[in-house]
């Protein structure tokens, strides 16, 4: 039987022409802010942090096409790494995640204020002041492999009410602090701080090119806007959370390839539970084994590169 790692997935979602959205109203390409003129939170819905993750594009274009405007506060719609998105090639669908550098690993002052002139970091600098304004940020992503969708956020008390409201996806992954080699967007500034109010969450909507990932992205986005009171209750009622009790995991470690010869012991795709001591991977001559029972593999990468994160390990809660 051919595994997910051995074959390319079907391309059920293809890129749309986003040129109509290029001229925003913030002085930054592909960023639009709508102000209700009434007091309320500034909510940001962000798509295409990774250029080949199309579900966010589906959700944000849906908001444009449906003429969604906030009942209170502000709503910002952002297409982040459009340059990477425009490089998509269906023959090589995993190659357009970014142009030169992963945009979801650059959200720290050392990088943003440093000398890096890669196209992705220059774009992050353009977006930085927009994100810094937000009271809430929904960063919409998808996964390389067809695994259950998941909600990702810090294990902080300030996220409890939002997590309960969204409820689904029914896999909730808690990411305590910066474990990756580079800060993700949802941990940028106040989003990642326990003592401040702004909330930043990631939703991983399913496999990159699956039509279902776009549908889920729309549903999550509408329920996110509903939590902050930006859309009418009658509209929000059309988007119902899945039934069932969410499964919760807390990330304990993010593995980074220390050698150019990192290789997984098995063709992991995600959410496999390992016995304590079970071999996860070989990093050169070094064995990497599960440090505890029911050690859960989260989002193993398809493209292994030395110095980059390759998989997260989590403990079921």
CATH code at position 285:
2.40.50.630
Looking at the structure, do residues 259 and 134 belong to the same domain, yes or no?
no
Q: Do 189 and 304 share a domain, yes or no? A: no
CB 195 within 8 A of CB 174: no
Tell which of 236, 259, 280 closes a domain: 236
Who contacts 12 (Cβ-Cβ below 8 Å, separation ≥6)?
A: 209, 210, 211
Q: Is 186 helix (H, G, I), strand (E, B) or coil?
A: helix
Q: Do the domain assignments include residue 28? A: yes
The pLDDT of residue 67 is above 60 = yes
Closest to 73 (Cα-Cα) out of 191, 230, 199, 233: 230
Confidence of residue 1 (pLDDT cuts 50, 70, 90): very low
Task: Tell me, yes or no, whether 244 lies in a domain.
Answer: no
Mean confidence (pLDDT) of the chain? 96
153 and 287 both lie in a single domain = no
Cis bond before residue 156 (omega within 30° of 0):
no
My answer on whether 147 and 254 are in the same domain is: no
Identify whether residues 111 and 214 lie together within a single domain. yes
Length of the chain: 317
DSSP string, 108-164: SHHHHTSS---HHHHHHHHHHHHHHT-SEEEEEEEESS----EEEE-S-GGGHHHHH
The phi-psi region of residue 240 (left if phi > 0; otherwise alpha if psi is between -120 and 50; otherwise beta) is beta
Q: Give the CATH number, domain containing residue 16.
A: 3.40.630.10
In a domain, 243, yes or no: no
State how far the Cα of 5 lies from the Cα of 3, in Å rounded to an integer: 5
202 shares a domain with 134: yes
Domain boundary residue among 236, 268, 294? Answer: 236
Q: Which two tokens stand for residue 52?
A: 């080949």
Tell me the mean pLDDT in the region 130-152: 98
Task: Give yes or no: residues 190 and 287 share one domain.
Answer: no
- If one counts the domains in the chain, the total is 2
Residue 135 belongs to domain spanning:
4-236
User: Is the domain of 45 the same as that of 111?
Assistant: yes
pLDDT in tens, 160-174: 999 999 999 999 999
Given a contact cutoff of 8 angstroms between Cβ atoms, the answer to whether 314 and 298 are in contact is yes
Q: Could you tell me if residue 241 is inside a domain?
A: no
**Range name among 9-13, 222-226, 252-256 with the lowest pLDDT average:** 9-13
- Residue labelled with tokens 């810090």: 154
Tell me: the pLDDT tens digits for 199-226?
999 999 999 999 999 999 999 999 999 9
Model-wide pTM > 0.85:
yes
Residues 232 and 258 in one domain: no
4 pLDDT higher than 90: no
281 has which bridge partners?
264, 288
Asked if the model's pLDDT at residue 273 lies above 60, the reply is: yes
Of 184, 215, 236, the residue at which a domain comes to its end is 236
Same domain, 158 and 259: no
Q: Is the predicted pLDDT of residue 2 greater than 60, yes or no?
A: no
Question: Residues 87, 91, 95, 97: is their CA dihedral positive or negative?
Answer: positive
Residue 63 is assigned to a structural domain of this protein: yes
């Amino acid at each position: 039987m051919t595994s997910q790692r051995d074959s390319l997935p079907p391309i059920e979602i293809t890129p749309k022409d986003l040129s109509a959205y290029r001229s925003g109203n913030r002085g930054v390409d592909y960023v639009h802010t709508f102000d209700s003129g009434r007091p309320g939170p500034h909510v940001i819905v962000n798509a295409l942090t990774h250029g080949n993750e199309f579900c966010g594009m589906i959700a944000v274009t849906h908001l444009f096409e449906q003429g969604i405007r906030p009942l209170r506060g502000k709503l910002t719609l952002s297409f982040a790494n459009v340059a990477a998105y425009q490089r998509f090639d269906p023959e090589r669908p995993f190659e357009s995640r970014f142009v030169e550098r992963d945009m979801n690993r650059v959200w720290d002052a050392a990088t943003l204020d440093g000398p890096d002139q890669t196209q992705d970091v220059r774009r992050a600098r353009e977006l930085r002041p927009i994100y810094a304004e937000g009271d809430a940020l929904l960063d919409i992503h998808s996964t390389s492999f067809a695994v259950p969708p998941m909600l990702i956020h810090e294990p902080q008390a300030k996220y409890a009410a939002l997590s309960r409201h969204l409820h689904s996806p029914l896999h909730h992954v808690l990411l305590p602090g910066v474990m990756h080699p580079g800060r993700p967007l949802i941990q940028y500034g106040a989003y990642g701080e326990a003592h401040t109010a702004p909330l930043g969450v990631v939703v991983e909507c399913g496999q990159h090119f699956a039509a279902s990932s776009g549908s889920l992205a729309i549903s999550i986005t509408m329920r996110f806007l509903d939590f902050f009171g930006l859309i009418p209750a009658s509209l929000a009622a059309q988007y119902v959370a899945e039934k069932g009790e969410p499964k919760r995991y807390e990330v304990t470690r993010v593995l980074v390839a220390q050698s150019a010869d990192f290789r997984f012991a098995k063709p992991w795709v995600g959410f496999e539970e390992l016995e304590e001591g079970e071999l996860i991977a070989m990093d050169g001559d070094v064995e990497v084994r599960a440090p505890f029972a029911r050690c859960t593999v989260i989002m193993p990468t398809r493209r292994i590169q030395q110095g980059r994160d390759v998989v997260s390990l989590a403990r079921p809660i």
